[in-house]
Amino acid sequence: MKKIKTKHNWSAYLYILPLLILSFALVYYCIIDTVYVSFTNWDGMTDEFDFVGLQNYIKMFGDDVFWTAVINNLIFFVGTVFPQAFLGFLLAVILKRKLPGSNVFKAIYFMPIAMATSIITAIFRIIMDPTNGSLNQFFRAIHLDGLAMNWLGDPKIALFSVILVNVFQWMGFSMITYYAGLMALPDDVYEAAKIDGAGFWRTAISVTLPMVRGTTNVLIVLGIVGSLKTFDIVKLLTAGGPGRATTVMNTYLYEKAFNNFDAGGAASIGVAILIIAMIMSFLQVKFGKED
């Protein structure tokens, strides 16, 4: 049998070489350096540090605050990713029906994404103020005083209040992503469903949702990474409090590095976040992959 020779065009690699250099300098070098620091007792300020092996990881796994942060991260993930995906999908399906003013509603729902997190959190701190906040004033005005709460100061509901703000900010992203996927679907499928007598909910669940499964998988993977990167919205709303009610891994990492001057311990938390993100993303891609 005659061997087929393949010609490699090595010049093509020159086009991606700048990206590889930047990726290594700005991403992979930092990851490698963080892993190295996690095996030291560096305080983050001086040039003096000693190699301590797995001591930082042993302390981390024996730290109750770390496990509280892990649990809060898990609650935050479940409470944000799935509601955002559901609401985004529902809005996208409704807006695809070309209702009057649908373009205006798309802009309104998408607007929070274009706003800085600092602005969103400042607005909600005012809305959720226990004394003069408009949310509690509304409940009092309709004689539902029992629903007027200290939304950000009560340890029992503070994390769910943060989740609510996050869902408000990122729901529009899920909507736009689903909407783009819906626009690529063939109309004859919906016409067949209509002929078969399928209503709005039956069509959405049995026809539309399976056809945008790939979009759902992408949103879940992005949600996994996003929930593990959560920092600014928690820091600006509650600073991890009250107590440890809203402490997540990144806020605890920040506290370790800049309040306790324990850069080695903070680096070990960073490595744990990276490993968890990689494992969860891998599992989602593996089990959500279409044949």
Q: What is the pLDDT along the chain (291 residues), one digit of tens a residue?
A: 455 555 567 777 888 889 889 988 888 999 999 999 999 999 999 988 899 999 999 999 999 999 999 999 999 999 999 999 999 999 998 888 777 777 888 888 889 988 999 999 999 999 999 999 999 999 999 999 889 999 999 999 999 999 999 999 999 999 999 998 888 888 788 888 888 888 888 888 888 888 998 888 889 888 888 888 899 999 999 999 999 999 999 999 999 999 999 999 999 999 999 999 888 878 877 776 654
Q: How far apart, in whole angstroms, are the C-alpha atoms of residue 34 and residue 15?
A: 29
For residues 105 and 95, is the Cβ–Cβ distance under 8 A?
yes
| Residue 161 DSSP SS3 | helix
Q: How far apart, in whole angstroms, are the C-alpha atoms of residue 109 and residue 179?
A: 12
Closest CA to 245 of 126, 131, 154: 154
Closest CA to 221 of 81, 89, 76: 81
Q: 51: which strand partners?
A: 40
Query: The domain at 24-288 falls in which architecture?
Result: Orthogonal Bundle (1.10)
Flag whether the pTM goes above 0.85.
yes
| Residue 40 DSSP SS3 | strand
Which position has the token pair 């992005």? 222
Question: What are the backbone dihedrals phi and psi of residue 40, each rounded to the nearest 5 degrees, phi first?
Answer: -125, 175
Q: Hey, what are 128's tokens?
A: 């959720």
Cα 256 to chain centroid distance, Å, stands at 22
Q: Hey, what are 179's tokens?
A: 């909407």
